[in-house]
Amino acid sequence: MSSTNDLSNRINEHYGSMSKGQKLLATYITDHYDKAVFLTAAKLGQAVGVSESTVVRFASTLGYKGYPQFQKALEDTVRGKLDSVHRMEVTYGKSSQSEILNTVLKSDAMRIKNTLEEIDANAFEAAVDTILKAEHIYVVGLRSCAPLAEFLGFYLNMMFEHVKVLKTSSASELFEQMVRIHEKDVIIGISFPRYSMRTLKAMEFANNRNAKVITITDSVHSPMNLYSSCNLLAKSDMSSILDSLVAPLSVINALLVALCMKKQDDVVKTLDMLEQVWDDYQVYGNDEIDYIEDSVRMHYADLGEINE
């Protein structure tokens, strides 16, 4: 196990058995490791709202002999993030723009291929069935995963009446938006390294309410799988400061298509209603690109023949 990922892996492995205060520490360190690295045990406790002794026990729970050793692991984490910039320089520094384009697209294509070979088809079918049976559908994806959550939520809303994409910058706001979640609902959590602890907390909350939990993440070792019964795994690793989310988006596309095939009538009705609304309220004006109706196309074809 590399020293760069050692701390985050330890947090992921022990998160399920942590106390409330320790989970607060895990969340703060994951989201603010660059600030936590400069804090003493007492100062870190003050920042999170726990005692210094809780911080020391947290370090011990993760397997460190004391806070100084834990802080050294934090320093390695920060150094590792800086090293990722260096890795990108080594990989792409002497490449032309066209070579970078070629390399990145080929890498993304390989990730989709590997995802297809390794994804659990049974888990995919179970995810489709779970979503179809749910009364309410919640989608959560924060930080770099927020666009994926928005995309998924946008198209789910075409098929289902009760879809909510959770949007927040704090854990408290997250819980406020899902306070009514219950056993007949489902939450779809999307997270990739560095895993969002707020997303993990939302899934833990949903699991405690006996709601169904579906994850879209990168590995069987992902902490997102702690509270889910259905895991959709997609490759996202990349040798740079950027995460490739092409394979996860492909999995989301497949999920939407499978659901759409099950909900064809509802989708058609929704699109018909939207077309009427767009027309009534002139949502799309003359400056918008639109398809030419067959009758208009035939008219222009006839004119072309006359001119000839």
The pLDDT mean for the chain works out to 83
Give the strand order in the sheet containing 230-233. 163-166, 137-140, 186-190, 212-217, 230-233
Shared-domain flag, residues 131 and 175: yes
pLDDT tens figures, 149-175: 999 999 999 899 999 999 886 667 888
Shared-domain flag, residues 229 and 299: no
Q: Per-residue pLDDT for 9 more than 60?
A: yes
Shared-domain flag, residues 59 and 135: no
In a domain, 100, yes or no: no
Number of domains in the chain: 3
Shared-domain flag, residues 85 and 159: no
In a domain, 255, yes or no: yes
Q: Per-residue pLDDT for 297 more than 70?
A: no
Shared-domain flag, residues 208 and 284: no
pLDDT tens figures, 219-254: 888 888 989 989 999 988 654 456 789 999 999 999
Shared-domain flag, residues 254 and 172: yes
Shared-domain flag, residues 141 and 237: yes
Report which of residues 238 and 45 the model is more confident about. Answer: 45
Residue-level pLDDT at 3: 43
In a domain, 107, yes or no: no
Shared-domain flag, residues 169 and 256: yes
Report which of residues 54 and 301 the model is more confident about. Answer: 54
Domain-terminating residue out of 75, 92, 109: 92
163-198 b/e (C-beta count within 10 Å ≥ 16 → b): bbbbbbeebeebbebbeebeeebbbbbbbbbbbbbb
Instruction: Tell me the pLDDT band of 6, cut-offs 50, 70 and 90.
Output: confident
Shared-domain flag, residues 43 and 157: no
- Which CATH number characterizes residue 25's domain? 1.10.10.10
pTM assigned to the model: 0.69
- Which CATH number characterizes residue 156's domain? 3.40.50.10490
Shared-domain flag, residues 21 and 52: yes
Domain-terminating residue out of 41, 76, 92: 92
In a domain, 101, yes or no: no
Q: Per-residue pLDDT for 100 more than 80?
A: no
Range of 278's domain?
266-307
Shared-domain flag, residues 275 and 214: no
In a domain, 113, yes or no: no
Report which of residues 144 and 300 the model is more confident about. Answer: 144
Shared-domain flag, residues 31 and 161: no
Residue-level pLDDT at 121: 94
DSSP letters for the chain: --HHHHHHHHHHHHGGG--HHHHHHHHHHHH-HHHHTT--HHHHHHHHTS-HHHHHHHHHHTT-SSHHHHHHHHHHHHHHHHHHHHHHHHHHTT--HHHHHHHHHHHHHHHHHHHHHHS-HHHHHHHHHHHHH-SSEEEE--GGGHHHHHHHHHHHHHH-S-EEEE--SSHHHHHHHTTT--TT-EEEEE--SSPPHHHHHHHHHHHHTT-EEEEEES-TT-GGGGG-SEEEE-----SSSSPP-HHHHHHHHHHHHHHHHHSHHHHHHHHHHHHHHHHHTT-S-TTS--PPPHHHHHHHHHHHHHH-
In a domain, 240, yes or no: yes
